[in-house]
Amino acid sequence: MNRINFEDALKLYDMDFFELGDLADKCRKELHGNKTYFNINRHINPTNVCADVCLFCAYSATRKNPNQYTMSHEDILKIVEEIDKNGAKEVHIVSAHNPNVTLDWYLGIFKKIKTQYPHIHVKALTAAEVDFLSRHHKLSYDEVLDLMIENGVDSMPGGGAEIFDEKVRDKICKGKVTSDQWFEIHRKWHERGKKSNVTMLFGHVESRENRIDHMMRIRELQDKTGGFNCFIPLVYQTENNYLNIEAPITANEVLKTMAVSRLVLDNVPNLKAYWVTSTVNLALVAQEFGANDLDGTIEKESINSAAGAKSANGVNLEDFTALIKNSGFSPVERDSVYNELKVW
Ligand code: V47
């Protein structure tokens, strides 16, 4: 298929809903057949004290949420000990931008996990956190990225991308990592032979044009580095934050956006329907609109659940795999960089 340009990508939204779904499904089947990937993972969010001011965020403790916390390394290691027993293969560690703790507090988390559990994949620090650590501790991006690798970070999650259009960014998260900086950090990470993901927060003040522009910018870097494993459209959650969006995006628009992204991002292998923000039910339907990955069991999650997502306690592995099977797909457990581990 020819590469889709901006105008044609926008027109995809006006296609018949099911015809668009079929196009994306054909593309998904060519890449992954009937397989739906997931992993057994645990999200850990070690601190919610934040120096930044994203209006969409309900997790940060500095504004609407009065309950500040910063976990000790011992508490984090207790969690990892527990999940290791339960078969988890990845910890996904994302925090707020805490100016009151040292760089060693951040890096020590990874170092201690990697030393005691070398078989567990550490996916940690969004580009927004890398930018914060670089500014706060007066280090270059290269220095922060090298320290991450030295201390045991294996891959980077895709958070902090939000919407790359600068005007929208100014409205929703002025003052944090810019789009250019976000891409610079991921480019440098890929140049070190490492993989990362990329997200898009949608369903708030952005337009369809902004979403396509977001995808085009990702496609451009991916052509150069090939370092993105997965694209993750995150459905904006409306509660407890300062954006004041009254009407959540419709399921129809979510599925269309999934399908459009599958077709536009022809060089990104995986499309994740992140059940945390879409609901499990819609994530299952998204399997027919281009999505081939449902993230993981998660066990506990604090960022999206603070804004209303029903994800605080993860999903049960048996229920999860049964749902994937009952919706007509083959649940395949993967590791963090998409090697297949087990067909369930
Ligand atoms: O960057 C914050 C988003 C992200 C809200 O890489 C919100 O595999 C919805 O990036 N409504 C963090 N979303 C989560 C994230 C992620 C999740 C799962 C997998 C991966 C991966 C990455 O959560 C933030 C921000 O974009 N977020 N507030 C909200 N109200």
Alpha carbons within 13 A on the beta-carbon side of 258: 36
pLDDT band at 314 (very low <50, low <70, confident <90, very high): confident
In this structure, what are the phi and psi dihedrals at residue 145, rounded to the nearest 5 degrees? -65, -40
Residue 1: per-residue pLDDT: 61
- Write the CB contacts of 305 (distance below 8 Å, at least 6 apart in sequence): 276, 311, 312
pLDDT band at 306 (very low <50, low <70, confident <90, very high): confident
DSSP string, 160-191: T-S---HHHHHHHHTTS--HHHHHHHHHHHHH
Q: Which atom of ligand 1 is the closest one to the Cα of 243? A: 30
**Res 63 pLDDT > 90:** no
**Res 62 pLDDT > 80:** no
- Write the CB contacts of 330 (distance below 8 Å, at least 6 apart in sequence): 33, 34, 35, 36, 324, 343
Q: How far is the CA of 305 from the centre of ligand 1 (A)?
A: 10
**To test the ligand 1 pocket, which listed residue (242, 304, 315) has its Cβ within 8 A of the most ligand atoms?**
304
**Across all residues in the chain, what is the average pLDDT?**
95
Write the pLDDT tens digit of every residue in 246-260.
888 999 999 999 999
Residue 2: per-residue pLDDT: 81
**To test the ligand 1 pocket, which listed residue (56, 177, 199, 270) has its Cβ within 8 A of the most ligand atoms?**
199
Q: Whose CA is nearest to atom 2 of ligand 1?
A: 57
DSSP string, 184-224: HHHHHHHHTT--EEEEEEESSS--HHHHHHHHHHHHHHHHH
Write the pLDDT tens digit of every residue in 272-299.
999 999 999 999 999 999 999 999 888 7
Residue in the block written with tokens 């990508």? 9
- Cβ neighbours of 231 (radius 10 Å): 29
pLDDT band at 157 (very low <50, low <70, confident <90, very high): very high
Give the bridge partners for 298, in sequence order: none
* Cβ of 234 below 6 Å from ligand 1: yes
Q: Which atom of ligand 1 is the closest one to the Cα of 160? A: 1
Q: How far is the CA of 15 from the centre of ligand 1 (A)?
A: 29
**Res 64 pLDDT > 70:** no
**Res 66 pLDDT > 90:** no
- Write the CB contacts of 251 (distance below 8 Å, at least 6 apart in sequence): 282, 285
Q: Whose CA is nearest to atom 24 of ligand 1?
A: 159
Question: Residues forming the annotated binding site for S-adenosyl-L-methionine?
Answer: 56, 162
Write the pLDDT tens digit of every residue in 195-219.
999 999 999 999 999 999 999 999 9
The predicted complex's ipTM stands at 0.99
* Cβ of 158 below 6 Å from ligand 1: yes
**Res 98 pLDDT > 70:** yes
**To test the ligand 1 pocket, which listed residue (55, 201, 302) has its Cβ within 8 A of the most ligand atoms?**
201
Q: Whose CA is nearest to atom 8 of ligand 1?
A: 157
How many angstroms separate the Cα of 264 from the Cα of each of 13, 165, 172, 196, 261?
12, 17, 25, 19, 5
Residue 205: per-residue pLDDT: 97
* Cβ of 199 below 6 Å from ligand 1: yes
How many angstroms separate the Cα of 27 from the Cα of each of 19, 79, 141?
13, 39, 36
pTM assigned to the model: 0.97
* Cβ of 228 below 6 Å from ligand 1: no
Identity of residue 145: L
